A = this chain, B = another copy of it.
Amino acid sequence: MAAEDELFIGVDGGGTKCKAVVYSEKDGILGEARSGPANPFQDFELATKSICEAAYQAVLQAGMCFRDMSNMRAGLGLAGVNIPDIMNKMQHWNSPFRSHVVTTDLNIALLGAHGGEDGAVIIAGTGSCGYAKVAEQSLLIGAHGFPHGDKGSGSWIGLKAVQHSLLVSDKLEQESALSRELKITDPIAFVKDLSGKPPRYYAKLAPAVFVAAAEHDPVAISILREAGDYLSAVARRLLTLNPPALSMIGGIADRITPWLAPDVSSAVCQAKLSPELGAILFLKSQEH
């Protein structure tokens, strides 16, 4: 059914941002764009809005228009659709595409990282999780959400930094390069601003921890060590399935890799394709 020049849309949607790609069988990537949060469990309206926005921008970038988009089929890989109700709602969404298929953000990350082959992937971005698929076996570790899960993720690292800095502001812990980096001059205003904030807000503070660790700050180092140890433990669980390859992806993947245990970091290989292209691999795998 797929003509030689058929165009596809691939979407990777998470709690912080949404990425879309327009892909041609003949010419490869024609357009790419990103937009805001697209986790339909956290906010269904916002997620569908973000998906439309990123996809439409990618279509414009490809030199096409809305009408062209309505002729394209889309593969959507989204956070939150591991919850059956949300998956169902997303599948029945009246999308602006000719049709769409839905899977988890984890699945498209895995498909992309290993070019559609079996393998394992650790996602370390705003949240954290590990996923492996080998023959008929699969294993999911983490993906529990913030603040009770997502250990080792950007939001978790940011939360640890805030906790430390507030203890410093109460003179219950020693001032550090990290607390100086966070600069909480008015704790009341700071915590008022923080109240009820989503995980991505905490994740924005994670870079300060990497900066302080580079300055040999022991508090920052201990946070990143705990993150690295956790992600290493996740990796070791995934490796019990003997996946052909293991990749790390997500917003802090590159920065956290040096903090992994040596046996784990030496097992990590570069991802082949992006999750958005993984979404297109998924779409095409659903054709038959």
Contacts and interface: CB of A to CB of B under 8 A. Distances in A.
Contacts of A187: 144
Nearest to A236: B172
Interface string A154-197: 00000100110011001110000000000000011001101100
Contacts of A172: 141, 230, 233-234, 237
Interface stretch (A65-73, A109-117, A145-153, A266-274): A145-153
A142 interface: yes
A97 interface: no
A82 B195 CA distance: 14
A145 B41 CA distance: 25
20 contacts: A41-B192, A42-B195, A141-B170, A141-B172, A142-B170, A144-B187, A145-B194, A145-B195, A148-B159, A148-B162, A148-B191, A148-B194, A148-B202, A149-B191, A151-B163, A151-B167, A170-B234, A170-B237, A172-B233, A172-B234
Q: Which are the 5 A-B pairs with shortest beta-carbon distances?
A: A147-B147, A148-B162, A144-B191, A141-B170, A144-B166
Given A144-B166, A145-B191, 15 more contacts: A41-B192, A41-B195, A141-B170, A141-B172, A147-B147, A147-B159, A148-B163, A148-B166, A148-B191, A148-B202, A149-B163, A151-B167, A170-B234, A172-B230, A172-B233
